[in-house]
Structure 1
Amino acid sequence: MSLSAKPVLISGAGLASLLFAQSLRQSNIPFRIFERDASFVFRAQGYRLRLSDEGLDAIESVLDPPTWTKFWDACGQTAGAGFAAWDAVTGEQTDHKMPEKLASRGGKVVGIARGDMRKVFADGCQDKIEWSKHVTGYELTEDGVRALFADGTKSDEGCMLVGGEGIYSKVARQLSGGKLKVFDTGARGIHGQAPATAFQGLGEGVHRLLDTSRGPGKDVSIITNVRPGELDDPTVRFGWTMATQPGALVAPNNDFSQIGKPAADMAKELTRHWAARFKPLFDQMQVEDAAFWKITCSSPSGVPVWQNEPRVTVIGDAAHSMTPAGGIGANTAVQDSALLGRLLREAGGFRPGVTEAYEKEMRVYASEAVNASYTLAKGAFGIEIDEESTPTV
């Protein structure tokens, strides 16, 4: 098999990996995707992502016109009401200002559910995905690379390997010699969903509900994007994201892999004294979709430099994990996909120097993004990372 005929190996079937695969597909570059889950529905993917101009530009640069149209039609576009901040306990609106830009194209807040985004990005790539394949590392060959799996097997030889398997990426750890670190900030959260009718007490717009009644260091907040035209439709579900300061939320048995009732019960307990206008968000929540999550972040000082390996690199959270503050993480991840895909297309497939050029450019915008996300999270969630002592995941 010639070098050009060997596929690009992709670890993980998350958003960054699938958009990267779309770029390869349209460049007629062969690829294989290895995903540790058994299917796309293995884990909850219901909460929404807010898309910036940079993120939308990156996505549009990759997708062909019909797929872009399908993607754009799946996005919700919120305008008019803009941002509103509320005291969660009294139900009164406050004068809190959102510290980051919310709107993107057309002056609207553009958002899409992770599951819908993943479905569009996977279009045409499903037959290239190998399920229940947990990548734990790689080995270089004379003129290629193989992915190593948790069951002791290896992949067929590829021309290069791209690690896109998120914050627990074994590829990132091996590639960087441990320099790529993801810090556990101690802040925690819950994702939930409820019928659109439960949000009628808020109305259209982006809303932040803040509860400071528990005392210093125990704040609980919710952010949600209420889209127009669907508030009276009980078949439509809107999502909300809860975030707490370090120590304010502890999952049962400290098990943050739990989904469903344990997370839903915790959310209801934390909000039981909130104003009546907000209670439907929790009383009517879809219990099975509730999920805990840890707020993590890569090195605030920037994406580190490691010895370049021409045949291996990383994208998305594997390269730069971010807090949810500012909604920056996913928008940066899709920029990785577009950049690496473009460089491979321009090179006609794998060539020495492609990963080095990608990493050099990625470090600039991703380091700025991580620092911005961390700075916003310090104010919003009360986190503090000491790169020498803060625990890693």
Structure 2
Amino acid sequence: MAVSGFEGFEKRLELHFFGDIDDDDGNNMLGLRLLDFESLEQVLLAVQCTVVAAVGNPFFDAYVLSESSLFVYPTKIIIKTCGTTQLLKSIPPLIHFANNLGLTLQTCSYTRGNFIFPKSQPFPHTSFQEEVIYIEHNIPDNLCYRKASVMPSKLTAHSWYVFTATLLPPLKYPSHATFTVEVCMTELDRLIARKFFSRDSKTGDLAGRDMTELTGIDTINAGAFICDFAFDPCGYSMNGIDGDRYSTIHVTPEDGFSYASFECVGSVYDDPDDIVETLKKAVRVFMPATVSISTSRCSREVWTKVARALQPLGLKCQSFAMDEFPAAGSFGAGGFPRVLSLVSSNSGFSRGTLPTIGGGGSCICYYCYC
């Protein structure tokens, strides 16, 4: 492992707002999408990143950033940033601009995995304790249902850090029809990682398109419109839009700290096998040595299928941890999230036993190949 390098593990912030975004005829339901580009630039300036590509549809806007992605819905914003960005510094300006649009913060969710280079992180990301203090200082006091927790794993490098805050008691929080799956992959196959280095000095969207097709990323969800971007001298990001759902991939290919992430949204009304196939395709693209998967608002059926999806790739369930949070963002909407840790190896693979998972909630699992 390199002593220092680019931090691939993302910080993820999800903010939900409420307010009257309709006129008397029920039109103009743009909400947060009315934020002009100048306002978004101010937010990203605080975070220390910029927009490099953008795409939108009738449901939401998706921005590829110099460090990961931003998604803007009428009443929801999701920001993922990697490197040494200061993601949490986006909270004050986002609340300010939302208030100017007549919107009020309802839930805040902050999650991240273990940094590869934690000592390189700037304030307020120097520790989870500092992150929690910063968030609590910058969100309204009426988001009084709060919880911060670290879910450990037998893989010491794979803990998960979660903070949620919401206005509503968990039992009164509305249920959601969608769920989120996040996949974090490290130690990518070297031959595959090389495909994410720029060639012939080509960068930008054209080089990004080449990488998308060369690696098979375009086959993960063939129905999505992909906005992709290649960085110099290496690295890749893409956002996919498919109706009201997004998917996103970010790749740091350098040897010694290679990393790729995949995130997508599913629906409780979908065939659970669809999300399982999507997950398997994403993992197969990168062939990583270690994979960690987090799911939120998943039913027992969906989660069990997701957890078992990697078994044919040579994975064994080894350990798990569970926790519950106030309903907020990607952790906790619809009830009490739970977190599950799994470790698997393709060295003498055995099936293993999946722990029982009830109801909707959040689960995090860890896999590794030996």
Same fold (TM over 0.5): no
Q: Looking at CA atoms only, which structure, 1 or 2, has the larger radius of gyration?
A: 1
Higher helix share: 1
Higher strand share: 2
Q: TM-score, normalised by structure 2?
A: 0.31
User: RCO higher in 1 or 2 (8 Å CA, sep ≥ 6)?
Assistant: 1
Q: TM-score, normalised by structure 1?
A: 0.30
